[in-house]
Chain A
Amino acid sequence: MRPLDLKLFRDLAAMKGQMAAVAMVMACGLMVMIMERGLVVSLETSRDAYYQSNRLADLFCDLKRAPNSLRVRLSHIPGVAVAETRVKGSAVLDIPGMKQTAEGTLLSLPEDHPQHLNLLYLRVGRLPVAGNRGEVVVSDAFAEAHGFMPGDTIDATIYGARERLHIVGITLSPEYVYALPPGSIMPDNRRYGVFWMNERELAVALGLEGAFNNVVVDVAPGGDPTAVKADLDRILTPYGGLTTYDRTEQLSVKMVNDEIKGLRTMAVAFPLIFLSIAAFMTSAALSRLVHLQREQIAQLKAFGYSSRTIGWHYCKFALVVVIFAFLVGGALGMWFGSRMLMVYHPFFRFPVLDFYPDWPAFLLAVLASAATSFLGVLGAVRHAVTLPPAEAMRPEPPAAFRASLLERIGLQKLASTSFRMALRNLERKPWQALFTTLGLAMATAIPIVSVSMGDGMDYMMDFQWRLAQRQDVTLALIEPGSFSVINDMRGLPGVLNVEPFRAVAARLYSGHHKRRVAITGLPQNVLLSRVLDVHGKPVALPLSGLLLSKQLAKMLFVQPGDALRVEVLEGRRPVLHTTVSGTITDFAGVGAWMDIDRLHHLMRESRTVSGAHLTVDSAREDEFFAAVKDSPRIGSITTTRAARENYDKMMGRMMDISRAIFFFFSVVVAFGVIYNGARIALSERARDLATLRVIGFTQREVATVLIGELTLLTLLALLPGLYIGSELTSLILTSINTETMRIPVVLTGRAYATAVLIVLLSSALSFTVVSRHIVKLDLLGVLKARE
């Protein structure tokens, strides 16, 4: 080995703790980078391949009922490659061993030809055979949650009639990668499944014989989707068509895309923070090394080594750190990434979901880390090599100091001698102090982001379920019906409260912005499903105008008082010119609300209801579900209470994992930054500290001088850290929030306290480690010569 490389390894061994701290911070950045980017690439790859190979439709439309003869007209729309009509409905499922009922979405499979669009991906078994009664294939998440296999049966109530479904296959569908139960914000694999059955049989069960109520369309290459959409709407409107939407608005597609969008943000934000901190740490540590070795550098130059050789020698230090971080971060990132895919599995059902590390992005990150570290090192080396050897070999004169700002403005009385030393040292190297503070501020910010995201989720769920959606069960009627059904519900066993609702599909227009939503009519002063303001206070339903989700108002670019055109897509399809009377706070999806009587008036109907929200005595739940599941008019049963429990279980696990990771990150960063800073300070002050020991300072007193300086930095970092954490939280949440789910920015004292505690404890830990070096200070050596 060449002598310079020998020197490299000996020097590295001497500063291994510090180098390891730097490498760990860098490794964290690279780990997040490879994990999150890998997840992005994996999800995108799987998604694109899946949608392509299984021919996910471009356009979707629900309607009330159209005769099958209309098919030909649809397929002749210019720009349409394939139009497939389907029958779609819902079922109440009676699962043995489950107290509550489950919900099912039923979709038809063509009988006379294979599927053209949204092809199923059969995992096990076969498709239903035309003419065989009751044969279904079931979504694999639901089957997995219950351990169903082909041959098992499920009892279902479809459109009020009891049917026995025979499972013949288990399948995936590109349409249901992320399967949200209707009206829910989280998948619930036990309580929601999708079923495919023969078209004729399902049509009969749903009272749609010879007709269809769902169309999916593949736009031909070169076709104009907007024109096709318009044509579809024109043709289907007379049949109760509810506005065609394209793939990006399809719920499952949207959820997958939203998740990828969130990951993208994370894949940039966190690595950027970690890698810039690490780059600073590397250059600070190596600048110090170069400074300590300036005499050696002068000698090497005197021997005839070129500046370039010497520069490259010091760059190799950074290179070793980068390589180490690359190996550790890469391995951990790959491992966590493939773990994370398993966490995704319950939510996102792809035929194959393999971990594809994003090597180009990763290499870019590694190169960027190396480059920034090199820059820092070379800056220091350049200074050292430009000194003429003769000058560099002479000892440096004592460092120039001056009274610190605090003293210059006359506050010297406040400062003890050691505090003054600390202040002046910091002021002499303001950039170093600034970057250390910044690193620590980031370490403070990281746990705030993670705790706040958890708190935001909790707040959202609490708001949603304790304040807004307080019903235990929501019953939806197969067809909107007369008010008498509400009285029937009151008579069901265990029912405590019943509150009706009327929901109609509508399109809202404001200028050229438009949006399809459900308008929900509610009675005044309801107690169960309520619309609330920011503070969780109920908002009175206006006697004129419409209440909108704040998010919806944003999407339509309207404010309270602005005009709005409303086209109802059901019944007689009335058109209404009204105003936005106010906005309400909700966190998932968007909607519009009005007084139920006004909605009846608008629809020119008398007291029609779509369903009701109920509270049920939990002691009599069994009786209740037994009675309700065979009720002929109930189309779907949504159990809010069960949904909440499911959420707590699923999210609890995810949040625990991410909290643990973030906790680890902030400890690594806080410890690393302080430890590195402390080692540099120790090295710079070794002579002073040893002198203090010699003239009679105890180890503890000497440690106080050193630690005082770092404590000062830590304390200085806390406030900006809290601020950065708050800003970062809202920045990240704003960028990952979507129409389907909006996590509010909730900044609690708990988040701040956690952050402060983590940083202080990590500081204490690194102080302890550094104190061991104070004990080992070489008292005699330091007196022999100048540094």
Chain B
Amino acid sequence: MAENPLPLSHSSATSKSREPLFRARGVTRVYHTGEVEVRALNGVDLDLFEGELVVLLGASGSGKSTLLNILGGLDSLTDGTLTFRGKDLTSATERELTLYRRNTVGFIFQFYNLIPSLTSRENVALITDIAPDPMDPEEALDLLELGERMDHFPSQLSGGQQQRVAIARAIAKRPDVLLCDEPTGALDVKTGVMVLDAIDRVNRELGTLVVIITHNAVIADMADRVIFLSDGKITHIQENPVRRPVGELSW
């Protein structure tokens, strides 16, 4: 069934001709908490392509984070298949998943998740020390205009700066995919825009596949495609013919 091109991805203008990076078929994730069974994802079919910027929208509890975590190799599926560049992630071992995360995936979280005992430079170096073909930490930080803040500790940075360090950390390894879970959730508009701009530039300049989760429909305008989730299912995918420049976004 994985061979059948799905109508959803069929119509994608940017991706028609190419092999998808991610191919998800019937992805299902069920959580058991005591007696209760929660279907966080309930049969998700989705292809994601190199170089595109995708926004995930949906109500709280609709399964956005679950999907993102599964794409990032942080969570396992209950049912269905998921491949990355044709390689099966479903049956990957813990070690293979770790390597996959290390070499391929960049994560950005709502609460930045920087290591408080390390400076900006060191937080980035954490990755560049172990990734196969990294940038210099300085280069990554410069990309995010943080050259001045290299030797500051997280407690000495504003929220927006911390988030930009987190982005530098995520992109320094030159990841194939950048997964962002509510990256602006804890930021004010101005800083949020700055962070989104950084992410947008990474997408354009490095050609990294970017997936952004947000509650903010405005942000959807900067995407190539917007995927709507509800109750663990994709209800609808919207393609934006033109990506709106981040500078014009406001909420």
Interface residues of A (CB under 8 A from B): 397-403, 417, 420-421, 424-425, 428, 687-688, 691-699, 701, 779-780, 782-783, 785-786
Which chain A positions have C-beta within 8 A of B153?
A: 398, 400-402
Cβ B155 vs Cβ A401 within 8 A:
yes
State the CA gap A397–B114 with chains docked (Å).
12
B127 contact from A687, A695, A698, Cβ within 8 A: A695
- B142 proximal to A (CB < 8 A): no
Cβ A695 vs Cβ B125 within 8 A:
no
- B169 proximal to A (CB < 8 A): yes
Which chain B positions have C-beta within 8 A of A403?
A: 119
A694 contact from B74, B95, B125, Cβ within 8 A: B74
Cβ B127 vs Cβ A688 within 8 A:
no
A53 to chain B: closest CB distance in Å? Answer: 70
Cβ A694 vs Cβ B113 within 8 A:
yes
State the CA gap A786–B154 with chains docked (Å).
14
Within 8 A of A (CB), among B145-178: 153-156, 162, 169-170
State the CA gap A361–B125 with chains docked (Å).
57
Binds A, one of B47-55, B101-109, B194-202, B235-243: B101-109
Cβ A397 vs Cβ B107 within 8 A:
no
Chain B residues with a Cβ closer than 8 Å to the other chain, count = 37
State the CA gap A696–B74 with chains docked (Å).
10
B198 to chain A: closest CB distance in Å? Answer: 18
A696-B130 CB under 8 A given contacts A398-B155, A400-B155, A401-B155? yes
- B122 proximal to A (CB < 8 A): yes
Cβ B116 vs Cβ A417 within 8 A:
no
Which chain A positions have C-beta within 8 A of B156?
A: 400
A411 to chain B: closest CB distance in Å? Answer: 15
State the CA gap A699–B205 with chains docked (Å).
33
Cβ B101 vs Cβ A783 within 8 A:
no
Cβ B127 vs Cβ A696 within 8 A:
yes
A696-B113 CB under 8 A given contacts A397-B155, A417-B118? no
Which chain B positions have C-beta within 8 A of A783?
A: 109, 111, 113, 181
B69 contact from A428, A699, A780, A785, Cβ within 8 A: A780
A677 to chain B: closest CB distance in Å? Answer: 17
A398-B101 CB under 8 A given contacts A695-B169, A696-B127, A780-B69? no
- Show 17 A/B contacts (Cβ-Cβ < 8 Å), sorted by A: A399-B117, A400-B116, A400-B156, A403-B119, A417-B118, A417-B129, A420-B117, A421-B117, A425-B117, A693-B98, A694-B101, A695-B169, A696-B99, A696-B103, A696-B105, A782-B113, A786-B111
Which chain A positions have C-beta within 8 A of B46?
A: none
Which chain B positions have C-beta within 8 A of A701?
A: 130
Q: What 0/1 pattern do residues 119 to 143 of B give for CB contact below 8 A with A?
A: 1001001110111000000000000
Which chain A positions have C-beta within 8 A of B103?
A: 696
A483 to chain B: closest CB distance in Å? Answer: 85
8 more A-B contacts (CB under 8 A) besides A398-B153, A421-B115, A691-B114? Answer: A400-B156, A420-B118, A421-B117, A424-B117, A692-B126, A695-B107, A696-B103, A783-B113
Cβ A779 vs Cβ B74 within 8 A:
yes
Cβ A697 vs Cβ B130 within 8 A:
yes
Which chain A positions have C-beta within 8 A of B19?
A: none
